C-alpha cells in the first residue's frame, strides 16, 4: 500500500466517524475567526478576484461556504470522499462545488487547472498533516493550480505549536475529546519547520508576496476553559515573472 493510500484511508476513517454538526471537529472553527481574518490578509493581493477560488483540503466545507458568499465560483477540494459527503450535506443549496482531489498526485492539479483555468487557492493547516514526502509535491500542485494569475494563501501551525499540541496529547486526562480522534486514526499533526514552507514555495517557482503570524483558532478548550489557539505562520505567494 502506498504512502498516499494509507494517508487517504486514515482520513476516510476520520471523516466517516466525524460528527455532522458545526464545530464538532478540532479545527472546524467559525469562519468569523478563521476564514474572515485570513481573507482580510489575502484579498489585497488578489490579481483577479474573479478567478475560481479553491479551498484545498476543505474537509466538511465550513470555510468553503463562507468563501462562496463572497466569490463567484468556489470549489472545495479534498482527498477524502467522506469529508466531501459532509460538505455536500451541509450545503444543500449548492453554494460551492466539491471535488475529490489529491493535489500531491502528479498530474491531478494540472488536470483541474485545465478545467478551471488559473485559480486562487486557500489552504489552512494541510501541509503539517501530510506525509513529509508529499509536502513538496503538494506545493508543486498548488503552483500548477495558480497558473500565471492565481494567488495562494497558505497558513500552517508554526514550530511553536508543537509544545502546545504535545502538552494536550500527554495530559494526564488524555487528549481533549476533539483531538483524540486525530491521533486514533493515525493522522496526528506533524511538525513543519518554520523555514520549510517558504522553501517549498520557492522550489515550486512561487514568490512570497506577504507573510506574518496569526493564532490558528480551534474548537477545543483547555482544562481551564480557555479556547485552544495554535501559533501559526501565513504566506501569500504567486508566480511572478
pLDDT tens digits, 98-137: 999 999 888 999 999 999 999 999 999 898 888 888 899 9
Non-local (6+) Cβ contacts of 173 within 8 A are 223
- 191: cell is 511538525
Q: Which parts of the chain are beta strand (E)? A: 52-56, 74-78, 97-100, 119-124, 151-157, 207-221, 227-238
Whether 241 shows a pLDDT value over 80: the answer reads no
At CA 32, angle to CA 191 and CA 200, rounded to 5? 30
Contact criterion met (CB below 8 Å) for 237 and 209:
yes
What integer pLDDT is reported at residue 119 of this predicted model?
Answer: 98
pTM summary value: 0.92
Residue bearing the bigger pLDDT, 166 or 81: 81
Phi (first) and psi of residue 223, to 5 degrees:
-55, -30
DSSP helix, strand, coil percent of the chain (3-state; round to 5): 40, 20, 40
pLDDT tens digits, 165-190: 767 666 666 666 677 667 666 666 66
- 172: cell is 494526564
Amino acid at each position: 500500500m502506498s504512502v498516499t493510500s494509507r494517508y487517504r484511508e486514515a482520513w476516510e476513517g476520520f471523516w466517516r466517524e466525524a460528527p455532522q454538526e458545526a464545530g464538532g471537529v478540532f479545527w472546524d472553527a467559525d469562519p468569523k475567526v478563521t476564514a474572515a481574518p485570513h481573507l482580510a490578509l489575502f484579498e489585497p493581493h488578489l490579481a483577479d478576484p474573479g478567478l475560481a477560488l479553491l479551498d484545498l483540503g476543505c474537509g466538511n466545507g465550513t470555510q468553503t461556504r463562507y468563501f462562496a458568499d463572497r466569490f463567484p465560483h468556489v470549489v472545495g477540494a479534498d482527498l477524502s470522499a467522506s469529508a466531501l459527503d459532509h460538505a455536500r450535506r451541509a450545503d444543500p443549496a449548492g453554494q460551492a462545488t466539491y471535488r475529490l482531489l489529491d493535489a500531491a498526485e502528479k498530474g491531478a492539479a494540472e488536470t483541474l487547472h485545465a478545467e478551471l483555468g488559473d485559480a486562487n487557492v486557500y489552504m489552512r493547516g494541510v501541509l503539517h498533516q501530510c506525509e513529509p514526502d508529499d509536502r513538496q509535491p503538494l506545493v508543486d500542485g498548488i503552483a500548477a493550480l495558480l497558473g500565471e494569475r492565481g494567488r495562494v494563501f497558505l497558513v500552517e501551525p508554526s514550530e511553536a505549536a508543537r509544545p502546545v499540541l504535545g502538552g494536550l496529547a500527554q495530559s494526564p486526562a488524555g487528549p481533549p475529546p476533539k483531538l483524540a480522534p486525530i491521533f486514533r486514526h493515525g493522522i496526528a499533526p506533524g511538525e513543519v519547520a518554520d523555514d520549510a514552507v517558504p522553501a517549498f514555495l520557492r522550489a515550486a517557482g512561487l514568490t512570497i508576496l506577504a507573510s506574518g503570524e496569526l493564532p490558528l483558532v480551534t474548537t477545543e478548550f483547555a482544562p481551564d476553559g480557555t479556547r485552544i489557539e495554535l501559533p501559526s505562520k501565513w504566506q501569500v505567494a504567486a508566480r511572478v515573472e
